Amino acid sequence: MYDPTVARLTYRALLGRRRALILGALPLLLIVISVVVRALAGADDQTAADLLGGLALATMVPLIGVIAGTGAIGPEIDDGSVVYLLSKPIKRPTIIFTKLIVAIAVTMVFSALPTLIAGFILNGNGQQIAVAYTVAALVASITYAALFLLLGTVSRHAVVFGLVYALVWEALFGSLVPGARTLSVQQWSLAVAHKVTGGDLVTSDVSLTTATVLLIVVTVLATWYAGQKLRSLTLAGEE
């Protein structure tokens, strides 16, 4: 289910000079803001939770997921180079699964690690806030990567749709509109973070059981459907 050659090509595409700069900009901004906030406000648990929840989990993680998930396959479909990959004796689900692993790894490195660093800067991991949001970022990275990889497979405007989802649904509706929170990856991951802290600084509108089931189901279905779409793309090309 994992092909090293496909992985190497995907890493090369995702970590090219221009895309790497974009991937690194948001984590750097988070860390800089954390340093400034710590210097001005000192170590405060509520401030740390607000910043990590509002900037890191609600904005940075989904945006990096968009870049990594859509970038893992979208450009190859757009420029037609995917035909070369599909001509190789590699099963289509293997291609999708390999690209998903790469997208997950990139999303985790550029989102979870900076979240952990920012958390320690803000309050030294008081009440396990840094670790809780890091775990939430790790969990969210998996589902975001799967969703945006699927989006990159089915649409030539995957980045636009992904940005709308990340900025409008997750960052705005997922944080403010009660009904939309149940269908938010952010809220699902917050349920996991709440379990880690065991306190009231990190809360979610979704129970841990529901969140876990939804995270798994959405990730599996998105990966499976991306494989089916890639299979149909091959058939269309052959015709």
Can you give the length of the chain in residues? 239
- For residue 236, the model assigns a pLDDT of 46
The pLDDT of residue 199 is: 78
> Are 233 and 77 contacting, i.e. CB atoms less than 8 angstroms apart?
yes
Residue 142: which of 100, 175, 184 has the closest Cα?
100
Closest-CA residue to 37 (of 50, 23, 22): 50
3-state secondary structure of 227: helix
pLDDT of residue 238: 44
Residue 31 in contact with residue 114, Cβ under 8 Å?
yes
Are 106 and 23 spatial neighbours (Cβ–Cβ below 8 Å)?
yes
pLDDT in tens, 53-77: 989 998 999 999 999 999 998 888 8
Interval 140-178: pLDDT, tens: 999 999 999 999 998 888 889 988 888 888 777 666 666
pTM confidence score: 0.91
Of 173, 134, 169, the closest CA to residue 27 belongs to 134
Chain Cα centroid distance, residue 196: 20
Whether the Cβ atoms of residue 148 and residue 158 lie closer than 8 Å to each other: yes
* 15-39 pLDDT per residue, tens: 887 888 889 999 999 999 999 999 9
Question: What's the pLDDT band for 234 if we cut at 50, 70, 90?
Answer: low
Residue for token digits 């509108």? Answer: 205
Q: How far apart, in whole angstroms, are the C-alpha atoms of residue 42 and residue 57?
A: 22
10 Å Cβ neighbour count for 12?
Answer: 10
pLDDT tens for each residue of 72-131 = 988 888 777 777 778 888 888 899 999 999 999 999 999 999 999 999 999 998 899 999
